[in-house]
Structures are given as structure tokens and as C-alpha cells.
């Protein structure tokens, strides 16, 4: 596969003013007719170069220009496209081709999912439908006619329905027209036997929008939460960004086979069923919250992505980073802000930091790629969102809004760059973000070494910040970043000290140099710094906090995020000591201060219960692995297991009291306050079961037997699966499956609970799950639940010292690559980080990775990841 470089970007030679598509749906031979009004791009230079169209796995039937058939000898079929000679600056091109949705297991282009036709065109899937200039800077007005037999009564595409009727041979047709010009990646088509729920939304300017969610009949009772979330998102975007919806209809369709979470096609969002369908009986609280955020995310793309789109795929973070920032703020406003931030930062620190330090490390705006699908990454999405958040922090809420207003106004209907976004922010606020731009071009996670000095004679406090950034592939040296560092200074009474004469108690320091000292005067006591409040930048902060100082921050910091973070640092230090003791074969002992800190958190009734649940959770094994210089999996597992057991034993009285207080028979509601209480209650249950005591396991059994919602049921099942005797776990798993076997989303949860269990998810059991009738290698959700659950969420079994876990992932990757390259390229990721492991385990991981490389011809997707990771 060849490499595409950002520096090689050229404007398109030809533009497409209108696109008329005509589909005759058939499982193995869908006929596609496209009529494109093409004209020479005046910005592209002189002459009439050949028209180059992208096309992959298409059966070409005919090419006509202005109604005249072009003989096959005149055009050239290329390995991935078509080259057509051009002799006039404007013409109508008509192409007929055939495609095979039934055999399309890549889930890009047009495919069948459980008998439903659907499309996925981002990033480069449209070229699997017909020949087209499949690039985001070619924007066209689409009209789409779908013809299908009557067993597919619902036929949908983008925009408004303008006509429907019957064909002479008894099939039906529907025509859709999208009034907004769009790139091909936003095209969508759906055909199936679907039901829908309907509602409406009146925009602030008084326009009534029809809202419809389509799904198979059996899931029609699972659409209410998504509908409520959609209406909340529409209201929020009006209130916070002044953005209204622009069509008269907004449709959402749920499909079972989908490579990602959802897709923001104009007016016709397509969702992975797992990211839209929920009912209290079948979905957990985290699934409810995930749905709210993804429904918001896709809706927000209507402005940040569709009305203003990307010039090229290197600019992906322009829409994704901005939209993740928007959805995170939406979720924070709908739920607990601190808890949302903790969840996002935990994920960033664990998985994005690991990506940034690994072989596929790339900037938020990559410079090159072989396969763009590999760059739908945590760096582009989550770090990209942090970059937008930092702009928000630097400009303030009002300044950011002025910037986003200017951005949308200036670029509505255009395909633009990250640079255009930053320039709009600068122009609207009269600021200079020149140095800040390095966040888009430099990869790697910056590290801040912070030291301080207090002069009690003159009350001066000096905070010195040294920044550095480790080398990443192709970037040995980094220039200093512009880092907004939010801080507060705590006095002995735990309150924030005034930082200047105006009494400000929190400041955002502008860190721009490799080393910089910030001075604060008039301080009557030596303060304790609370650094990087709210995680104001995606960096690592090193400061030599003592145990006492962390305990103090945990109790007193005005910033809830930093209270949690102090607890994490404390736990991390304790786990580090345990790992060392384990390696030295010493008796393990947990710091008593940590136990007491957890006890007081547990007893603190003033804190949000969801925050308490987060504060009680030890850093995950993956987080510990990310922080380590070299990963010692065995020591990490032993240390964490010991600490958890010691905490459970020491705190069992408090855990039980808290569990009993929160375990009420209140009816289920997905409101934030109720979710918070359930999260703490179930965190207590999980800890109690770590003791393996009969009383605790009996609580789990009773909760499992009587639960009236999936959150409680799944939490109890998880406790039984991970603790206690195998017979009870077997019985619980079996009864759960018997009850829910017809429900796809619950079965996925059931798979995931087992494959990610240290106790249950042994390699033998995971292989057995793959033989289960409900498992399907062609369905990414099943692969993510079973194989992904094992490789990404079962640290213990995946790291078995014989390397069998790595070998298994390699085998499955090879098998999957034949069906779905995008998913194969993601599945392989856990075995690409072999360099971070010392000794034998690292060697075994590398051997497994090499076996993928040596297995024969790989897809471009998989080849890129494996070849870059073997260097």
C-alpha cells in the first residue's frame, strides 16, 4: 500500500454540482446508476486533465458523457478507479455499475445487516458503491432514488422525501432530495422491513422538525431514551452554540453490524444498535449514558462536520475533536461534570497516552497515512477534543463562542482545515495562537516537572515548570507547547489562598517556555499547589507530593477532579510499593493511610455518590501499565489484586453499611442522581464480594435474583462470575442467558462479562465462547465483546506467561482480516506494544505480531499497523 502525505494536497481537478443516484436493490447484484454534473474546477489550473474517479470492487457496466456511450477503449479501469479523458469543461457523466451487498463483510459501502440494506461511507466507503471523486472537498447536491421489492417497505436516504410510487414490475420506489451540498462520505441509504417511533421538535425559530428512529420490530420498545437524548441535544446546541437544525426531518436507524459507534450522515444518522437501543430492563446505566453522548455527538456533527466539513482526511480532528468536545460538554451539563471529566481523563490517560507513546503515535493532525481508517484514533478524537478544550480555557466561554460563531459563519458550506478553525478563534478574539498550533503538529504526551520554593521572609512563592516531550516516530525533537496550566494554592485550612490583590483563587498559567517560573507574592504561609485543575491540558505532571499532602488534597481541594486525582496518585504510590515488594518476594502490606483515606471517602455523605464510586476505584491494570517504564504484568496483577483484597477486608463494615443504605426498592430512573447511587452501591457490592465471604456473595445472589433493571442485574452477575464458587457462577450465567438470549445487546453484555473476567475468561473459555451459536465473526460487536474483551479488558489472562493470549489475538486477527480489515487492524493493537514489555513476554508478543506479518497478503489496514509496529 502507498502512503498519502498532507504536503501533497491539491485541490480537485473537477467539481460535481449535482449527483443523481438510482439504486435497484438486490442482495447479490444491486444496480447503481449515477448521473453527475461535472465541471472543471477554476482553481485547479489550465487544461483538461483526465477525470480520475475512485472505485473499488465495482463491476462497471457503462460510461456515458452527455448521453453518448463512451466506448471501453476510451477510458481506463485502474486498480482502484477509473480514468476518463475529458474534452470539454462541463458535461454530464453517467455511469452504471453493479455491486454485491450480501458478500460485503467489510461493512464499508452498501451491505446487508440482518436482511437490512445499509451504507457506511466515511471515510472512503462511497467508492465501494460507485465511481466518484470520493474526497471530502468535492461537495455536491444529491438526489437518490431507491427501487426495491416490497419486502423492503422502508427506503431511506438523505434529505426530504420528494416522490414515491410503484414500478411496472411491482416493486416500489422512493426518491429523496438533499438540499445541502455534501461530500460523498455523508451519503446514506437504508432499505428494510423496519418500524419506527416518531416525535417532533420545534426549533427556537419555530420550525417543526419530524424526528424518527427506525429499528427492527422487536426493538421498537428500546428507542425512547435515544429520542429523549436527541431532543435534549437539539435544545443544548441552540442554547450553547446558537445552532439550529436545518432540515424538516431527522432520522436515526439502528443496525446490528457496524464498524464504529454511529455515523452522522446528513439527516439520516446510522447507529450501531448497541449505541442507540436501551430499556431499563436490558441496558445498564453506562449504556444509557453512552447513548446520550453518542446521540448528541452525531447530532452535533450536523454543524461541526456537515455544514462545515473537512478539506481532506488529515483534518479529521477538525470535526471529530471539536464534536467530542461538544458532546463531552453536553454530557457534563446533563450529568455530573466532575464524574464525566474523570471518566474521560481516565480513558485518555490509559489508552490515548499509550497510543501517543506507541508505534502508531501521530499528531492530532497526522502528516501521512496508508489507510485513513487507522486514524480514527483516540489521538484524533480524544486528544483532539482536549486541544479544543484548551482553546476554550484560553479564550473563556464567551471568547470561545465568538470564535465558533465566526467559524460557522465564515465557513458554512465549505470544506476546511484545522488551521481555519484556529484562525477563526484568533480573529474573533484578537489573540495569537501561533505557538498553540504545535498541539496539532507534534505527537507525544508532554511531561511537566514542577518544583516550588517559598520564601517566608517576603511571602514569595515560586513555581517552576519544566516541559519536555518524548520522541515519537519521525519526530525526535519537540518545540515547547503552549500549555494552559490551571492551578490553585491551598492554605493550611484547606481553602484556596488569594493569588493576587483582587482575590482570585484559581489561575491559568500560560506555560510556553521549556522552563519557566511563576511568582506569587503576599502569601503568609507556604501553600500546597493543586496542579492541572480539571485536567486543563493533556499532559503528565510530576511533582514530589508526599503521602500527607495527597491526603490533604483528597480531603480539601476545591477542584473535585483534583480530589479524585490526589486519591489516584496516592493509590498509584501504594501500588508501586506493592509491586516492588512483590518483585523482592517480601510480604505485601497496604499503606494504612490509603485504607483510612478510602474509609473517609466512603463515609462522606456530602460528596456526590458517583464521585465516591470513582474515588474508591484503584487505577486499572492498564493505567498502571501505561505509567510504568517497562511493564511487569505479573507484579501489576499481584499488587492490584492484593490492594483490592486488603481494602475490601479492612472496609467491609463501611461497604456493607453503604450498600444497605443505597439498596432500596426505588423504581428505576436513568436520571443522574439515581445513576450515581447505583454506581456507588454496585461498587460496594463488587468490593464486598472480593472478600469471597458467603454473606457478601449471598447479597450478590439476592440482587441477581431480584433485580428489576439491567444495571443491578449485570453488577450482581459480574460479582458472581468474578468471585465465589464456579457452580454459582455457572448457574447465574446460564439463567441469565436463558432469560435474555433473544436480546442481541444483552447477549453482547453476557459475552463481555465472561471474556473480560480474570477468573472466568481463560483462553479455553474464550475459545468456547467463539463456538457459541450467538457468536459471529462477521459481527464487530461480537468480536469486540469476546475477543476484544479478552485482549483489552482481561489483563490477567491476556498476559499469561506462556504467550498463548498473544498468539490467540494474532490468529484471530489473521482470520478477521479476510472479512473485515478495519476491525482486524483494531484487534491487533494490543499486541503491537511489545517494546514496552521487558524480557520474555515482550519477545513472545513480538513473535505473535510477526506471525501476522508472515501470514500472507494482508489488507492495507492491517499491513500499516503491523509493519509500523515491527520497526
Report the interface residues with Zn ion, using CB under 5 A: 320, 323
Best CA proximity match to 225, nearest among 155, 306, 284, 138: 284
Give Cα separations from 246 to 6, 89, 294, 414, 845 (angstroms): 32, 33, 20, 16, 51
Assigned C-alpha cell, 598: 478510602
Active site residue 298: yes
612 in contact with ligand HT7 (CB under 6 A): no
We find the least distance from the C-beta atom of residue 122 to ligand HT7, in angstroms, to be 5
Structural contact between residues 370 and 2, judged by C-beta atoms closer than 8 angstroms: yes
Listed ranges 206-214, 258-266, 678-686, 828-836: which one lies at the site for ligand HT7 (CB under 6 A): 258-266
861 binding ligand HT7? (CB under 6 A): no
Among 264, 312, 329, 632, binds ligand HT7 (CB under 6 A): 264
Is there binding between residue 864 and ligand HT7 (CB under 6 A)? no
Q: Which does 376 bind (CB under 5 to 8 A by kind): Zn ion, ligand HT7, none?
A: ligand HT7
Look up residue 421 and give its three cell numbers.
478553525
Please give the backbone phi and psi of residue 466, each rounded to the nearest 5 degrees, phi first. Answer: -110, 125
Site of grid cell 475533536: 321
Give the total of residues touching ligand HT7 (CB under 6 A).
15
Closer to Zn ion by CB, 260 or 463: give it.
260
| C-alpha cell, 599 | 474509609
Strand pairing report for 160-166 and 172-177? antiparallel
Q: Can you read off the three cell numbers belonging to residue 706?
A: 431480584
Question: Which residue among 256, 298, 565, 743 contacts ligand HT7 (CB under 6 A)?
Answer: 298
Q: Tell me the residue nearest to ligand HT7 as measured from the CB.
A: 260
- Sign of the torsion formed by the C-alpha atoms of 248, 261, 345 and 749: positive
Q: Does 293 bind ligand HT7 (CB under 6 A)?
A: no
Pick what 194 binds: ligand HT7, Zn ion, none; C-beta below 5 to 8 Å, kind-dependent: none
Which CB sits closer to ligand HT7, 382 or 743? 382
Give the helix ranges, DSSP H, for 74-125: none
Rg of the chain (C-alpha set): 28
Q: Is 120 in the site for ligand HT7 (CB under 6 A)?
A: yes
Contact 721, 753 (CB under 8 A): yes
Which entry of 94, 124, 298, 343 is annotated as an active-site residue? 298
Name the minimum Å distance from CB 823 to ligand HT7.
Answer: 10
**Using rule CB under 6 A, residue 129 touches ligand HT7:** no
Instruction: Select the binding partner of residue 402 from Zn ion, ligand HT7, none (C-beta < 5 to 8 A, by kind).
Output: none
Instruction: By CB under 6 A, tell whether 269 contacts ligand HT7.
Output: no
SS3 state of residue 732:
helix
Helix (H/G/I), strand (E/B), else coil: 95: strand
State the Cα–Cα distance between residues 579 and 585, nearest whole angstrom.
10
The secondary structure of 299-319 as a DSSP string is HHTTTBTTTBEESSGGGHHHH
Per CB under 6 A, 385 contacts ligand HT7? no
Please identify, among the stretches 55-63, 117-125, 414-422, 428-436, the one whose residues bind ligand HT7 according to the rule CB under 6 A. 117-125
- Kindly state whether residue 123 participates in binding ligand HT7, applying the rule CB under 6 A: yes
Is residue 684 within 8 A of residue 659, CB to CB? The reply is: yes
- Applying CB under 6 A, does 34 fall inside the site for ligand HT7? no
Choose among ligand HT7, Zn ion, none what residue 174 binds, the Cβ cut-off being 5 to 8 Å by kind.
Answer: none
From candidates 373, 562, 622, 718, binder to ligand HT7 by CB under 6 A? 373
String marking each residue 302-331 x if it binds ligand HT7 according to CB under 6 A: ------------------x-----------
Give residues 809-838 in contact with ligand HT7 (rule: CB under 6 A).
822
Residue entry with cell 460507485: 130
Under the binding rule (CB under 6 A), the answer on residue 748 touching ligand HT7 is no
Asked if 379 is part of the footprint of ligand HT7 (rule: CB under 6 A), the reply reads no
Closest to 586 measured CA to CA, from 644, 650, 642: 642
In Å, how far are 242, 477, 668, 737 from 401, measured between CA atoms? Answer: 9, 35, 37, 49
Return the number of the residue (306 or 744) whose C-beta is nearest Zn ion: 306
The contact set with ligand HT7 (CB under 6 A) reads 120, 122-123, 259-260, 262-264, 297-298, 301, 320, 373, 376, 822
Show which residues are catalytic: 298
Amino acid at each position: 500500500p502507498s502512503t498519502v502525505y498532507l504536503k501533497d494536497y491539491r485541490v480537485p481537478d473537477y467539481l460535481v454540482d449535482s449527483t443523481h443516484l438510482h439504486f435497484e436493490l438486490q442482495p447479490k447484484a444491486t444496480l447503481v446508476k449515477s448521473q453527475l454534473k461535472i465541471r472543471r474546477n477554476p482553481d485547479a489550473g489550465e487544461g483538461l486533465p483526465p477525470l480520475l474517479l475512485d472505485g473499488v470492487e465495482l463491476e462497471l457496466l457503462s460510461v456515458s458523457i452527455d448521453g453518448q456511450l463512451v466506448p471501453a477503449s476510451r477510458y481506463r479501469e485502474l486498480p482502484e478507479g477509473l480514468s476518463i479523458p475529458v474534452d470539454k469543461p462541463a458535461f454530464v457523466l453517467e455511469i452504471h455499475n453493479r455491486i454485491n451487498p450480501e458478500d460485503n463483510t467489510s461493512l464499508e459501502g452498501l451491505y446487508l445487516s440482518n436482511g437490512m440494506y445499509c451504507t457506511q461511507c466515511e471515510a472512503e466507503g462511497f467508492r465501494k458503491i460507485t465511481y466518484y471523486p470520493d474526497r471530502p472537498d468535492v461537495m455536491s447536491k444529491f438526489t437518490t432514488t431507491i427501487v426495491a421489492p416490497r419486502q423492503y417497505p422502508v427506503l431511506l436516504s438523505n434529505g426530504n422525501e420528494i416522490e414515491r410510487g410503484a414500478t411496472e414490475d411491482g416493486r416500489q420506489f422512493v426518491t429523496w432530495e438533499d438540499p445541502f451540498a455534501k461530500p460523498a462520505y455523508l451519503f446514506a441509504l437504508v432499505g428494510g422491513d423496519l418500524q419506527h417511533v416518531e416525535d417532533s421538535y420545534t426549533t427556537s425559530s419555530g420550525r417543526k422538525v419530524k424526528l424518527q428512529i427506525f429499528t427492527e420490530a422487536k426493538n421498537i420498545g428500546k428507542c425512547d431514551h435515544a429520542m429523549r437524548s436527541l431532543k435534549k441535544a437539539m435544545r443544548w446546541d441552540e442554547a450553547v452554540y446558537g445552532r439550529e437544525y436545518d432540515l424538516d426531518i431527522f432520522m436515526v436507524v439502528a443496525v446490528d453490524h457496524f464498524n464504529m459507534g454511529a455515523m452522522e450522515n446528513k439527516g439520516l444518522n446510522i447507529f450501531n444498535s448497541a449505541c442507540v437501543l436501551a430499556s431499563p430492563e436490558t441496558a445498564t446505566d453506562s449504556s444509557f449514558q453512552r447513548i446520550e453522548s453518542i446521540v448528541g455527538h452525531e447530532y452535533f456533527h450536523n454543524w461541526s462536520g456537515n455544514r462545515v466539513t473537512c478539506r481532506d482526511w488529515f483534518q479529521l480532528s477538525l470535526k471529530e475533536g471539536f464534536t467530542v468536545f461538544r458532546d463531552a460538554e453536553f454530557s457534563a451539563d446533563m450529568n455530573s461534570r466532575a464524574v464525566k471529566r474523570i471518566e474521560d481523563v481516565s480513558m485518555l490517560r490509559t489508552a490515548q497516552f499509550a497510543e501517543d507513546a506507541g508505534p502508531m503515535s501521530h499528531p492530532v493532525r497526522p502528516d501521512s497515512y496508508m489507510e485513513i481508517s487507522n486514524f480514527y484514533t483516540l489521538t484524533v478524537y480524544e486528544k483532539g477534543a482536549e486541544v479544543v478544550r484548551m482553546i476554550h480555557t484560553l479564550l473563556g466561554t464567551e471568547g470561545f463562542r465568538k470564535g465558533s460563531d465566526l467559524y460557522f459563519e465564515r465557513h458554512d458550506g465549505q470544506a476546511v482545515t484545522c488551521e481555519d478553525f484556529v484562525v477563526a478563534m484568533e480573529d474573533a478574539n484578537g489573540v495569537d495562537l501561533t505557538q498553540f498550533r504545535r498541539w496539532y503538529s507534534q505527537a507525544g504526551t508532554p511531561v511537566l516537572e514542577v518544583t516550588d520554593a517559598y520564601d517566608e521572609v517576603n511571602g514569595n512563592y515560586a513555581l517552576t515548570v519544566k516541559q519536555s516531550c518524548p520522541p515519537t516516530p519521525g519526530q525526535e525533537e519537540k518545540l515547547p507547547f503552549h500549555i494552559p496550566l490551571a492551578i490553585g494554592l491551598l492554605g493550611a485550612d484547606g481553602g484556596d489562598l488569594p493569588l493576587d490583590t483582587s482575590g482570585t483563587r484559581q489561575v491559568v498559567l500560560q506555560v510556553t517556555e521549556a522552563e519557566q517560573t511563576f511568582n506569587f507574592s503576599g502569601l503568609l504561609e507556604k501553600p500546597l499547589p493543586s496542579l492541572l485543575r480539571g485536567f486543563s491540558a493533556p499532559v503528565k505532571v510530576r511533582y514530589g507530593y508526599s503521602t500527607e499532602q495527597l491526603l490533604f488534597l483528597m480531603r480539601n481541594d476545591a477542584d473535585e477532579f483534583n480530589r479524585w486525582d490526589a486519591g489516584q496518585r496516592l493509590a498509584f504510590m501504594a501500588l508501586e510499593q506493592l509491586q516492588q515488594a512483590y518483585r523482592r518476594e517480601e510480604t505485601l502490606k497496604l499503606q494504612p493511610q490509603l485504607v483510612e483515606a478510602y474509609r473517609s471517602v466512603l463515609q462522606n455523605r456530602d460528596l456526590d455518590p458517583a464521585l465516591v464510586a470513582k474515588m474508591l476505584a484503584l487505577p486499572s491494570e492498564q493505567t498502571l501499565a501505561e505509567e510504568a517504564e517497562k511493564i511487569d504484568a505479573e507484579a501489576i496483577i499481584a499488587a492490584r489484586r492484593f490492594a483490592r483484597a486488603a481494602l475490601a477486608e479492612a472496609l467491609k463494615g463501611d461497604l456493607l453499611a453503604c450498600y444497605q443504605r443505597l439498596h432500596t426498592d426505588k423504581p428505576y430512573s436513568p436520571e443522574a442522581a439515581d445513576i450515581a447511587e447505583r454506581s456507588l452501591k454496585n461498587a460496594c457490592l463488587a468490593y464486598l464480594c472480593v472478600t469471597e465471604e458467603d454473606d457478601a456473595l449471598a447479597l450478590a445472589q439476592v440482587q441477581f435474583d431480584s433485580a428489576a433493571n439491567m444495571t443491578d442485574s449485570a453488577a450482581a452477575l459480574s460479582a458472581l462470575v468474578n468471585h465465589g464458587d464456579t457452580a454459582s457462577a455457572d448457574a447465574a450465567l446460564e439463567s441469565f442467558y436463558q432469560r435474555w438470549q433473544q436480546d442481541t445487546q444483552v447477549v453482547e453484555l453476557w459475552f463481555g462479562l465472561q471474556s473480560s473476567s480474570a477468573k472466568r475468561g481463560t483462553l479455553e473459555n474464550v475459545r468456547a465462547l467463539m463456538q457459541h451459536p450467538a457468536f459471529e465473526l462477521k459481527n464487530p460487536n461480537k468480536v469486540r465483546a469476546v475477543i476484544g474483551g479478552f485482549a483489552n479488558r482481561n489483563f490477567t489472562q491476556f498476559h499469561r506467561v506462556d504467550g498463548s493470549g498473544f498468539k490467540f489475538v494474532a490468529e484471530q486477527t489473521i482470520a478477521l482480516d479476510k472479512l473485515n480489515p478495519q476491525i482486524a487492524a483494531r484487534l491487533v493493537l494490543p499486541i503491537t506494544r511489545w517494546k514496552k514489555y521487558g524480557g520474555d513476554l515482550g519477545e513472545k508478543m513480538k513473535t505473535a505480531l510477526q506471525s501476522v506479518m508472515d501470514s500472507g497478503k494482508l489488507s492495507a489496514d492491517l499491513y500499516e499497523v503491523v509493519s509500523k509496529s515491527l520497526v
